[in-house]
């Protein structure tokens, strides 16, 4: 599951720039307002984990060392217990009041077997009465149609490199619901083009519901976006919130 977008420091430097103003961070901070311990699976560069560490005991787990290098050096990063591990197999030997898996990290797990393994990890790390939340894009909305070079081209303001042209390209496999997309950054002055190919899955809500039940997790609420709206068939997101059954 090595993906240069998350493992190559030259590409990781663009992650936070491209993910500013994430509404999932605000929602999860509100969800954790009653305190307690938090496990952030797929914590990436640690934006959410570091913010939560101001008032919680937080553990951040990610398989990409380049992402964790950024996480450790961000403001508040010293308060988080960072663990380099795979969400499918990690077992920390403790349970948490809240388990998070945001930033569409669930979608990097391409098969039902891998997705079920992640859900079992969530179940293994929840205290009785604890809550979980994660997000995945709604396949019915076909967001990947916007990831063509023409529709995705954008200018990224990098603090050291200046203005960088970025774009994506995409292929969708309807048989597996797996989308393969490429991300490119053209360094100013024609010096080089950085690129990476990534694969993500778009599981359907009914399939998620069955896997959650099998993992021993009870969904109390299905959200359709990070503003807190209830899920409907045309929602952009599928966001289950729940607890152990």
Token pair 């990831």 is at which residue?
Answer: 147
- Is it the case that residue 2 has pLDDT exceeding 80? no
| Whole-angstrom distance, CA of residue 125 vs CA of residue 198 | 28
Q: Are 55 and 38 in contact (CB under 8 A)?
A: no
pLDDT digits (tens, 9 = 90+) for 131-144: 999 999 999 999 99
- The pLDDT, as a whole number, for residue 1 is 55
Query: What global pTM score does this model have?
Result: 0.95
Token pair 């950085």 is at which residue?
Answer: 194
Q: Are 93 and 74 in contact (CB under 8 A)?
A: no
- The pLDDT, as a whole number, for residue 191 is 73
- The pLDDT, as a whole number, for residue 87 is 98
Residue 196, CB-side half-sphere exposure with 13 Å CA sphere: 16
- Is it the case that residue 208 has pLDDT exceeding 60? yes
- The pLDDT, as a whole number, for residue 189 is 79
pLDDT digits (tens, 9 = 90+) for 64-96: 999 999 999 999 999 999 999 999 999 999 999
Residue 124, CB-side half-sphere exposure with 13 Å CA sphere: 14
103 φ/ψ sector (left φ>0, alpha ψ -120 to 50, else beta) = left
**By C-alpha distance, which of 102, 46, 103, 105 is closest to 79?**
46
Instruction: Residues 20-139+203-244: name the CATH superfamily.
Output: Vaccinia Virus protein VP39 (3.40.50.150)
Domain range annotation of the chain: 20-139+203-244, 141-201
pLDDT digits (tens, 9 = 90+) for 154-182: 999 999 999 999 999 999 999 999 999 99
Q: How far apart are the first and last CA of the chain?
A: 30
| Whole-angstrom distance, CA of residue 214 vs CA of residue 93 | 22
- The pLDDT, as a whole number, for residue 49 is 97
- The pLDDT, as a whole number, for residue 136 is 98
Q: Are 46 and 77 in contact (CB under 8 A)?
A: yes
Burial label, 236 (beta-carbon count in 10 A; 0-12, 13-18, 19+): middle
Share of the chain above pLDDT 90, in %: 95
- The pLDDT, as a whole number, for residue 21 is 85
- The pLDDT, as a whole number, for residue 35 is 74
């Amino acid at each position: 599951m090595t993906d240069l977008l998350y493992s190559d420091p030259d590409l990781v430097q663009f992650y936070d720039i491209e993910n500013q103003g994430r509404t999932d961070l605000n929602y999860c901070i509100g969800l954790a307002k009653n305190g307690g311990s938090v496990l952030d699976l797929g914590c990436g560069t640690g934006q959410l984990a570091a913010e939560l560490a101001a008032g919680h005991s937080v553990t951040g787990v990610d398989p990409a060392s380049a992402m964790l290098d950024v996480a450790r050096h961000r403001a508040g990063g010293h308060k988080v217990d960072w663990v380099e591990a795979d969400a499918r197999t990690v077992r920390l030997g403790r349970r948490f009041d809240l388990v998070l898996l945001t930033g569409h990290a669930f979608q990097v797990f391409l098969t039902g077997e891998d997705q079920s393994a992640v859900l079992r990890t969530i179940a293994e790390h929840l205290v009785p009465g604890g809550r979980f939340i994660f997000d995945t894009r709604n396949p019915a909305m076909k967001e990947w149609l916007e990831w063509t070079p023409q529709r995705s081209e954008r200018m990224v303001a990098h603090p050291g490199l200046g203005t960088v042209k970025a774009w994506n390209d995409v292929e969708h496999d309807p048989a597996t619901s797996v989308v393969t997309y490429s991300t490119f950054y053209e360094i100013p002055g024609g010096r080089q083009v950085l690129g990476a190919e990534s694969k993500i899955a778009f599981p359907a809500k009914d399939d998620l519901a069955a896997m959650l039940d099998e993992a021993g997790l009870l969904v109390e609420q299905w959200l359709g976006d990070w503003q807190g709206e209830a899920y409907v068939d045309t929602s952009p997101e599928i966001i289950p919130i729940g607890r152990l059954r």
